[in-house]
Amino acid sequence: GSCTVGDRTIRITDRLQHSPDFVINCVLLHELVHLQIPNHSQEFHAAMARYPDLARAEAYLEGFTDATTATRQSR
């Protein structure tokens, strides 16, 4: 996902469209937090740590990224 703080626009990539809800929620939360905290500071990470499925979502996204990268490299 990504966000533009100036116009408060949040975009979620369509590559996540079949991901579990807890992953979509985590990505959306990540971008919402950026509307208040524009960097990845300790304050940002503290806000994200409130999400109960954070570790599970991060593990899913890490695997998703690894799989996507491997697919692109095999082309």
pLDDT tens-digit readout, 17-66: 999 999 999 999 999 999 999 999 999 999 999 999 999 999 999 997 65
pLDDT at residue 71 tops 90: no
Q: How confident is the model at residue 69 (pLDDT cuts 50, 70, 90)?
A: low
Q: Please state the domain count of the chain.
A: 1
Q: What are the Cα distances from residue 56, in Å, to 7, 12, 21, 25, 26?
A: 30, 19, 12, 12, 10
Structure tokens at 24: 């979509």
Structure tokens at 68: 């996507």
Give the domain range for residue 66: 2-73
Q: How far apart are CA 21 and CA 60, in angstroms?
A: 12
| Cβ atoms of residues 57 and 26 within 8 Å | yes
